[in-house]
Every structure is written in C-alpha cells, then in structure tokens.
C-alpha cells in the first residue's frame, strides 16, 4: 500500500516523515487490537464466572464478576474510540498526501507548458502555416499539369483524319466484295467426304482468277 502511495522512487524527507508517521499509527492499531482481544476474553471469563456463582447461589461473588466485566467493557469502548481516531488520522494523512502529489504534478505540467510556449511563438506558427499553404498550392498546380494530356483532337489536321477515314471505308468495302469468293473457296475444301461436288473442267484463265481470289482472301 505504501509503495503505491509514495511511488517507487526514493521518498523525500517529508515523504519519509509521513511514511514513518503512518507506520507508527499502524503499529498502534495492532497493539490496540491485541488489547481489545485480551479484554474480550476477560469479559467472557467474568460473565461465565458470574453465571457459575449464580448457580451456586453466591450473589456477592457474581456481582463482583459483573462489576469487573463492566469495567472491561468500558475499556473496550475506549479502545474502540482510540482506533477510530487513528483510522481518521490515517485517512487525513493519505488524503493530504494525494492532494500534495496532485498539486505538484499540476505545477510541473504548468511549468512544462510554459517552457514549450517560449519555444513556439504565434508569429512562428503563422509563418509555418503560410509556408505549408504555399507548398500545398504549388503541389496542386504540379499535379494538375501532370494530369493534362500532351495532345488533343484539335491538334491534328482535319483533312488527314478524313483521308484516313475514307481509306478505312474503302478497305471495308473491298472485304465485303471478296467475302462470297472466300466462302466458296472454303466450302470446296471442307465439303464432307463422299459428297464433294463434281469438279468441272476449267480454263487456264479461270484457274488463274480463282487462285488470285484465294490469295486475296488470305
């Protein structure tokens, strides 16, 4: 308990004195508890003796036992008050120690904040923020410049685009004209076995035209 109360570091002179005071109060409590237990035993013994004397019809002896019992009970009451006072004193000391530690910690924190404020001035903060805003704006401009395409459609000649488009249209038309000849050529090679059409006799000119069409289809 005292380790938590005063911390792990070596206590100062005041803390050591406070610790010694609490230790002394604890020792006193232990002694009072021992006396209290002894008095309780005496009270019980006198009560039992009084009962025995009553049974023996010795009222005078029984009365003396009850008198001693009453005296012991008065001492017990006093011991109880002493213990309450000591407990109250310990609570006050521990509360005062916690209050002192809190004030010291707050004072240390205030001194640290004061020292940091000396290092950082409002003028320096404003200057730093201006520099940050300037750098942010410059970076934004750089990013926008990098995101802009190197060239657009407006940079090309319109006549060149039209010529290229006409060329593509001519190639598409040529593909459409050659498509029937290509299909006929493929069907001649892929006809099922036994069902191939009879090959008619062709002239050398017709063979040359067919070979030219097949080459163009490739």
pLDDT in tens, 171-210: 777 777 776 555 555 554 444 444 445 555 555 666 666 6
Position 151 confidence tier, pLDDT thresholds 50, 70, 90 = low
The answer for residues whose C-beta is within 8 angstroms of residue 1's C-beta and 6 or more apart is none
Q: Is the pTM of this model over 0.85?
A: no
Where are the chain's structural domains?
2-121, 162-187+205-218
CATH code of the domain occupying 2-121? 1.10.287.1060
DSSP labels for 157-217? -HHHHHHHHHHHHHHHHHHHHHHHHHHHHHHHHSPPTT-PPPPPP--HHHHHHHHHHHHHH
């Amino acid at each position: 308990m005292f380790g938590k109360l005063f911390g792990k570091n070596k206590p100062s002179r005041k803390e050591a004195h406070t610790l010694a005071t609490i230790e002394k109060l604890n020792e006193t409590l232990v002694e009072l508890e021992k006396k209290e237990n002894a008095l309780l035993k005496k009270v019980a013994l006198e009560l039992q003796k009084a009962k025995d004397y009553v049974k023996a019809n010795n009222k005078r002896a029984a009365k003396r036992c009850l008198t001693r019992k009453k005296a012991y009970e008065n001492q017990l009451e006093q011991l109880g008050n002493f213990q309450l006072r000591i407990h109250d004193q310990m609570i006050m000391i521990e509360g005062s120690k916690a209050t002192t530690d809190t004030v010291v910690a707050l004072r240390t924190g205030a001194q640290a904040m004061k020292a940091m404020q000396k290092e950082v001035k409002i003028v320096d903060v404003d200057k730093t923020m201006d520099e940050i805003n300037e750098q942010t704006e410059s970076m934004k401009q750089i990013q926008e410049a990098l995101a802009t395409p190197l060239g657009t459609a407006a940079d090309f000649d319109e006549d060149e685009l039209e010529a290229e488009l006409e060329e593509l249209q001519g190639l598409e038309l040529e593909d459409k004209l050659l498509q029937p000849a290509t299909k006929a050529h493929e069907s001649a090679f892929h006809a099922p076995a036994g069902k191939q059409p009879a090959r008619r006799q062709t002239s050398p000119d017709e063979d040359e035209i067919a070979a030219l069409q097949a080459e163009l289809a490739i």
